[in-house]
Amino acid sequence: MKNKLIAVILAIVTCFSVSAQTRKDIKSMYHSAYSYEVSCLGVGQDGTKAIKVWGYGKNADVAAFNAKRDAVAAVIFRGVPGGNGAAPTPAILSIDGYEKNAVFFDEFFKAGGMYLNFINLSTDGVPSGEDRIKMSKGYKVAICASVNYNGLRAFLEEKGIAKKLDAGF
């Protein structure tokens, strides 16, 4: 009986400690080059990147919302891989760009934040079929999006977050 009680207490403590997400955990989401599942769909209109991005969430709507945020974050912090006739696009900021500008990016990526101005979805609503996968703790959803790379870069340069391309000359 005593062993069962100890096992239950340990299980409860473990569940609470695993589910708590600290600010450091959120920052590491943007730091890691492996935080995003992104593939290039091809060449978009001038200054845009057509990509497919996967997001995770407790339900399909949350996963699609997270995929939008991840699409913009991937363009900023990771870049877009090449494919389907498009060359790879480098990241706008280095991997430590979030750390240096944490206050700005916390505001930029908040729900309904400025990042939504730089994304145009080519898929409306929550996807179905192979782009919507039920997982044990929620959903994994893919969206196809067009990210305004040139506009995003210009905005970050204007705010002093990213260096201008001609700054080294």
Q: Is the pTM above the cut of 0.85? A: no
* Interatomic CA distance for residues 26 and 108, integer angstroms: 14
pLDDT of residue 112: 83
pLDDT at 27: 42
Q: What pLDDT is recorded for position 90?
A: 84
* C-alpha R_g of the chain: 19
Number of H helices, E strands in the chain: 6, 5
Check if the beta carbon of residue 41 is closer than 8 Å to that of residue 18: no
3-state SS class at 56: strand
Q: Which residues contact 52 (CB under 8 A, 6 or more apart)?
A: 38, 39, 40, 41, 142, 143, 144, 145
Tens digit of pLDDT at every position of the chain (169 positions): 555 555 445 555 444 444 444 444 444 444 444 467 888 787 777 788 888 888 888 988 888 888 889 888 888 888 888 777 777 788 888 767 778 888 888 888 888 888 899 888 766 556 667 777 788 888 888 888 888 888 999 999 888 887 776 655 5
Which residues, at least 6 apart from 169, have a Cβ–Cβ distance to it below 8 Å? none
pLDDT at 79: 83
Q: Which helix (H) or strand (E) holds 66?
A: helix 60-77
Read off the tokens for 144. Answer: 């196809």
**Res 127: pLDDT:** 65
- pLDDT score at 96: 74
